[in-house]
Structure formats: structure tokens, C-alpha cells
Amino acid sequence: MVDSAAPGAAVPRLAAAGLSKWYGHVAALNQVSVEFLPGLTGIVGDNGAGKSTMLKIFSGVEVPDEGTVFVDGAPRAFGSAREARAAGIESLYQDLALVETMSIADNIFLGREPARQVLGLRVIDRRAMRREADLALSRVRIDMPSSRLGVRQLSGGQRQAVAIARAMHFGARVVLLDEPTAALGPRETAAFMSIIRDMADREETVVMVGHNLPQMLELADHLLVMRAGMVVATLEPQQTTLRELTDFMVGSA
Amino acid sequence: MSEQLNSGTRTGERTGGPGKLEARTTERVGTGKPAWLALASRDLYIDVALVGALGLLLVIFGIASGGKEFFGSNLINIVDSGSVLGVVTVGEAIVMISGNLDISVGSNAGLVTAVIAEVMAHTGSSLLLGLVAGVAAGLVTGAFNGFTVAYLRVNSVIATLATYSAYLGLALLVTGGQEVGVVSTILGSLGTGEVGPVPYLVIVAVVVAGVSVAIMRLALVAHSVYAVGGSQSASFLAGIRVQRHIFGVYVVSGLLAAFAGVMLVGQTGTAQPDEGTVGLELTAITAVLLGGVGLSGGTGTVLGAVLGVLALSTLDNGLLLVGVPSFWQEVAIGGLLLVAILLQDISGHRARLRALRGARRRAAGKPPGRQDHAGRRQAVGAARHG
């Protein structure tokens, strides 16, 4: 499982062994063991296959009933999103975990604002925050007029980009994406996916749940197919047809 | 005008290249405002507008009342009459910035006056014990509100509507429904004394407001309160301890209600479980809304709320001096609130109208293309900006 098959192979940044999660009598996840390699891993599956549950466990939102998560080979148990984030696992959620009433810089540093002690009070260092935020944006090659702009004024794709910049700025080991392009138009989807592809090319570990199968086949480096709470196939996108993929998803393969 | 705006919108949409996430926002924010203006925050506009409105009120009343009478010592009266309200309003503003509401602040202040009066009556007029018990009462009631809203997850309107009633009842129970006098020269001089022309209560209110404005602007914890008010889910996911912050704002509100209670006892020399404090919460909420703090949280400033208090007391004072019947004063306050809210949202309305016009044009003329999609989303985003 976590022991790599090939000797000398790098330890995967994110892996799991025997993950199970029940909701009442329904097993949302059933003894799932996975390893995520560098690059973009796509997770596909029908609704209720357990994709989002798995992502939620990795991001600390849900606690598994059984099994263990490994980050860089070390077993971890996350009690909260904060703990997962501290371990280097950054999540981008479907409903965008950004505060609309705040600026880009505020959002990039949300929960991790630079502060200094003044008269016993932790005072936020806005100047450092803006400077660093501009840097974070440029590092993922995102062109924004200013990090002081309100998130409310941004388009869906720009918001995703802010979330990505946040993840990368804090040295994320793994970035988890749950249907990141569901709310985007075609043009913005293309732009967003080019940022993701860029990250994958830099050997970052990116995990993405998605419903757009042609897109997944085209962009992912690895594909996991889930069904009924289990990983039923691990595929190489280049050697997989859309037909094969759907067969695995519905269980006729 | 609409044609011009529309054509501007269109060219703006087409500037982005296909492969890049270019921000077309600079030219799209607001109605053709230059970029630096778009960056200035909505809160700043509102604070500036409030100062302007306040100045306008002063000029109007100054002229209407013949000048001399209105200015001079009367200006201090205006601030003085708003001092107790101001302290309560600061607490209310902080709660509302967190995305919640505190309807119980008035009864809480009333309960504090009752506790101070009763404790002093039974301890041989010990001011220290009275104050300690009063402030403790405010903290406990605030903490109870916070516990109910943050940890039991009761909707804040319902929770504090319940405690509004409960604290008022408790206050009447404590005093037995009687007016209880408080004999204390120190409290009395706090309530009625002054330094030169400035009453102590004004100094207390200004200090409370100043410290609160500074903390809410600078402190990390306040920044988190804004985040919680803006989006609880995003704050939670970012690791901010949402419940603790909501609990905290209610404790602060309770503490400030206790301060207001102490000020009231000083001012009147009696416990005021109902007469002095009923309706205080609604006036406070009015002032907070006037000041640009939204009901949904995450926006506005404590400074705005304080300016809202000043606007209310100026209106009260000015109308009285000019000789407008007091019933009309209430109508005027209602009108002021409505106008202020409409003005605060006017840029949002305009953006929404613009988006609608664009949508209608597309519906009538050509089908919306891919680029229109992104453009419309931005227009909607700008509309929500308010």
C-alpha cells in the first residue's frame, strides 16, 4: 500500500490505506487504498460513488471510520480542515471557499494573516499581506489588477485562480479539486485548466474530481474510477477510451 | 445613456485572450469609475458620505434654528444624548459585522441597572460590589446569548428575541417592578459631571468608540470576525474558529451593554429596567444600518455605526429645536434609514439594471455567446457588490 512497489521510488505525497466511511448503513467508502503520484490524478465515478467523501476525508472535513491517510509516507489523522491544511493538503471546494466580502489579499491569507504583537494585541500586517499576495498571484502566473480588489468583483475563473494562488503560496504538498470547473463557462474552464496543467507539469500532486470525462481523459496524467465506494480501476488516460471509462463507471466492464 | 453603457460593456468583454485568465475587472467595476476609485472600499465611501450627511444636517438645522442656539453648547448636547446609545451601538455593530443580531442589548442594559441597584441596596450602597455585579451580569447575559447562537446554533434573531424578553423579565423580578434608587455620589458625578464643557459620559462614549474602532480596524481577531460575517463556511475551512468568534462578539456586546447600564444609573440615579432601555436595541440597530453595516454581515465599520448614532441624535435634537412635533421625528428617522439604505445600494442597483438591459438586448437580438457569459457573470458580481 504505502510501501512503494518499485524500490527507490519516491514516497507519494498523499496515500491512503483501507479507508471506510459509513453513513448509517450505507458505505460511502469501502476499504479504499490509493496512492497519488505527482501530476494530475483525475477521479471519476457516478454520483454516490464516494469521490467527494474521499476528498473530504483527505481535506479533514470528514473523519474516516476505518483506515489511515498518509502524507509523505507518515500516517495522519485529521480532525479538522485546519489540520489537513497544516499538513500541506489544500482543498478547493465546489462552492469556493472564499469570503466574498473581502479582498483577494484577505482571502489568500484567510486564517493565516501575518500579524505582529502590539500592546498585547495581535495586529494584522496589511501591507505585508498585500505585497505577499501580489507575489502569490504572479507565481501562478495569474494576472490581476490588484490584490486589493474585492473577490465579489471577480469572475468564477478568477476566483478559482485566487484559491489556487492561495494553495501554492502556502507550499501545499497536494491540491484537491472537487469539480472545480462546474460553475465556469467554456473559456474560463480552458484558462483554469491551463493553470492546473501547468502545476501538474511542475510535478505537483493535484487530485481532481470531475464529471467531464473527455476533459479528464485529455488532461489527467492518471485516472481513478470509483463505483459504490470502491476504486474499481486505475487507468492511463492515453491508453483509455471514453467507452472503457464509462463501462468501468457503470460496472459493465 | 444605456446605449453607451452597453457598448462599453461589450468591448470590455472581448479584451481577454482565450488562454489566459485576464482580469477585465478594472474597466468593469462600477460605472466607468477609474481603477483607483474601484479599489477604494465601499466602507470608505459610506463613512465619507455619512460625514457629509452629518455636515449637511448640521448646516440645515443651524440655518433653520437661526444659528446661535444650535451650535455652541448644543453640539455637546447632541453628543451627550447619544452617549449611552453609542456604547450599546458599538456592541451591536460588532455583532452585526459577524453576521448576527443582538436584540437583547436594551434589556441587558436594563438588567444591569437593576442588578447594580439591588446589590447596592443590600450591601449598604457598596459601589464596588454593585459595579462588579452589574458588569458580571452583562458578561453572563452576553455569554448566554453567545453560547445559544454559536454553540447551540439557534438563529441569532430568535435567540436574542428570547433573551430580550427573558432579561427584561429578570430585571423586573430583581427590582420587584419598583423603581429602585441608587445612592452614590461617584456614580452620580459620572452621570452628570463634566470636564469643562464636556460631560464625563461623552468622554466614556468617545473612549469606548475610539478603542473599538481601532481594534476592529487593526486586530487580527477583528479581521476574523469580518471573515466569519462574510462567510462562515469559508472561514471554517480556512481554520478560523467560527464558534469562538461568534461567542466572543456576544460577550463584547454584553460587556458594552453593561457599560451602558452603568452610565444610565449614573445619569438617572435609578434602576431603569424598562423605561430607560426599552427600544434601545432598535435604535442601535437603526444606527448600525445607517452606518453601512449590512444585515448579512462582513461589511461596514464601527466608525460608520458611530456616525450613524451621531446622525440620529443630530436629527432628534435639530427637529426638536426647530419645533417639529416629536411624532414627526420618528417618521424622519424611518425616512432617513430608508434613504440611507437605498443610497448604500445604489451602485448595485445600477449594475443590476445595466446587466438586465444587456440581457434583454441579447434576448431580443442575438443569442448570448460564450463571451457574454463571462461578462454577465461579472455584471452580476458587481451588482451583488452593492
The answer to the question of residue A118 being in a domain is no
pTM above 0.90, yes or no: no
- The residue of chain B with its CA nearest to that of A113 is B220
Nearest by Cα to A96 from A37, A28, A167, A35: A167
Domain with residue A48: its CATH number is 3.40.50.300
Reported as a single tens digit per residue, the pLDDT across B162-216 is 999 999 999 999 988 888 888 888 888 888 888 888 999 999 999 999 999 999 9
Distance between CA A73 and CA A4 in Å, rounded? 10
Q: For the residues of B121-178, what is the DSSP string, one character each?
A: HHTTS-HHHHHHHHHHHHHHHHHHHHIIIIIS---HHHHHHHHHHHHHHHHHHHHTTS
Best residue in A94, A153, A164, A198 for a mutation probing chain B (most B CBs within 10 Å): A153
The answer to the question of residue A95 being in a domain is no
CB-CB under 8 Å, B35 with A111:
no
Determine contact: B38 vs chain A, CB below 8 A.
yes
CB-CB under 8 Å, A191 with B298:
no
The answer to the question of residue A60 being in a domain is yes
Chain A residues with CB under 8 Å of B381 CB are 152-155
Percent of chain B with pLDDT over 90: 48
CB-CB under 8 Å, B26 with A110:
no
Q: ipTM more than 0.90? A: no
Domains of chain B: 42-344 (1.10.3470)
Name the residue among B219, B233, B297 with its Cβ closest to that of A97.
Answer: B233
Torsion of CA A192, A194, A197, A201, to 10 degrees: -140
Which of the four pLDDT bands, split at 50, 70 and 90, describes residue A65? very high
The answer to the question of residue A127 being in a domain is no
Determine contact: B231 vs chain A, CB below 8 A.
yes
The answer to the question of residue A181 being in a domain is yes
Give the model's pLDDT for residue A187: 80
What residue type is assigned to position A17 of the chain?
Answer: A
CB-CB under 8 Å, B18 with A81:
no
Determine contact: B26 vs chain A, CB below 8 A.
yes
B71, three cell numbers? 451650535
**pLDDT at residue A72 above 70?**
yes
- Per-residue b or e along B25-63, where b marks 16 or more CB atoms closer than 10 Å to that residue's CB: bbbbbbeeeeeeebbeebbeebbebbeebbeebbeebbe
Mean of the per-residue pLDDT values for chain B?
A: 82
Distance between CA A107 and CA B231 in Å, rounded? 11
Reported as a single tens digit per residue, the pLDDT across B8-61 is 333 333 333 344 444 443 333 333 444 444 445 677 888 888 899 899 988 888
> From the CA of A3, how many Å to the nearest CA of chain B?
31
Determine contact: B220 vs chain A, CB below 8 A.
yes
Query: By mean pLDDT, which of A223-232, B187-196, B283-292 is the weakest?
Result: B187-196
Give the structural domain span for A222: 14-88+173-250
Best residue in B9, B14, B21, B380 for a mutation probing chain A (most A CBs within 10 Å): B21
Give the model's pLDDT for residue B236: 86
Give the model's pLDDT for residue B96: 97
A228, three cell numbers? 459504490
- The residue of chain A with its CA nearest to that of B16 is A187
The answer to the question of residue A41 being in a domain is yes
The answer to the question of residue A210 being in a domain is yes
Taking a C-beta distance cutoff of 8 angstroms, is the pair A210, A9 a contact?
Answer: no
> From the CA of A34, how many Å to the nearest CA of chain B?
24
The answer to the question of residue A224 being in a domain is yes
Run of H or E including A118: strand A115-118
> What Rg, from alpha-carbon coordinates, does chain A have?
19
Distance between CA A235 and CA A226 in Å, rounded? 11
Taking a C-beta distance cutoff of 8 angstroms, is the pair A30, A229 a contact?
Answer: yes
Rama region for A31: left / alpha / beta (φ>0; ψ in -120 to 50; rest): left
Determine contact: B126 vs chain A, CB below 8 A.
no
Determine contact: B218 vs chain A, CB below 8 A.
yes
Chain A residues with CB under 8 Å of B236 CB are 81
**pLDDT at residue A204 above 60?**
yes
- The residue of chain A with its CA nearest to that of B298 is A101
Q: What total number of domains does chain A contain?
A: 1
Name the residue among A99, A111, A142 with its Cβ closest to that of B231.
Answer: A99
